[in-house]
Amino acid sequence: MSSDLTAPVAREKTTGLHIGDAKPGVAKTDPIIIADGVRRTFGGLTAVDVEHLEIPRGAITALIGPNGAGKTTLFNLLTGFDKPDSGAWTFEGHSLSGVPAYKVARLGQVRTFQLTKALGLLTVLDNMKLGAKGQVGERFWQSLFPFLWRKQDHQIEERAFELLKKFKLDEKSDDFAASLSGGQRKLLEMARALMSEPRLVMLDEPMAGVNPALTQSLLEHILDLKDEGMTVLFVEHDMHMVRHIADWVVVMAEGRVVAEGDPISVMKNPEVVDAYLGAHQEIDLGVVTGRYPAADAGKNKASKESK
């Protein structure tokens, strides 16, 4: 499969996601997450200061911004891996303020990490089985009586194999997770997240460290999540990829949300260019993120000037 992002991976975009003008904090027609006044500081540094943010249901939302913008910290807060200094947020109407990460996952909001968290000394299949929720055999006394959990365990294993086959990892099911490549670990982590049958999947830089041969596969899987009725929120630096698959884009800089909108509008927003470059310039953000070599940037500029 080609790793060229210009290949036809994009599918029909979801429209009508917001109410009124697209601006920071704009209301969504059907939000799955609503956050208000979320603030997190580390000493004298304000890492996150989000006044109001809504994530649209049933769409793919990209969270972008320069390094140190607060994207991963916001992810950690929304998923219970960190606690804010102030603020509140809800997931499908349920307050998640102060809710620990494992309970957040049980509610149907799961995440992956930029640095994968596969358990290297367990097999790929065992990693998958860990992702299933509500397992009877996890309780001490029930675990002593196999007849209580064996049937469920068989069902979990069948679902795990189905997902591994979909992610082309079925032949690795008996291998230790530590033996997988970086890209395969990304696939495993995404597949394991789906074992809990989530409604919202949050991906922290899913393409980071992935070789080009697997990039296209990961893009297809992200699009499949939406087709299967899930909401996707992902952090990404590659604007070219964002433009291809995102329905909505949220831009952070210095902990704040500075812009929101559809990918095309956001890339033309001077505040977004400011966030990446520090000065207003007419530039293709694909160049900023390193997707295109500098020579291509020059060609693009020359082409514009000749028109």
* CA–CA dist 92, 199 (Å, integer): 10
* CA–CA dist 147, 152 (Å, integer): 10
- Strands 86-91 and 60-64, bridge-based pairing: unpaired
pTM for the predicted model, two decimal places:
0.81
Tokens of 69: 């913008």
**Which option is the CATH number for 31-118+196-306: 2.40.70.10, 2.40.30.10, 3.20.20.10, 3.40.50.300?**
3.40.50.300
pLDDT at 302 over 50: no
pLDDT at 243 over 60: yes
Tokens of 179: 């033996």
* CATH 3.40.50.300 residue window(s) in the chain: 31-118+196-306
Range of lowest pLDDT (116-125, 195-204, 227-236, 298-307):
298-307
pLDDT at 303 over 50: no
**How does pLDDT run across 135-190, given as a tens digit for each residue?**
777 777 877 777 777 887 889 899 999 999 999 999 999 999 999 988 888 889 98
**How does pLDDT run across 7-65, given as a tens digit for each residue?**
545 577 888 999 989 999 999 999 999 999 999 999 989 999 999 999 999 999 999 99
* CA–CA dist 253, 178 (Å, integer): 35
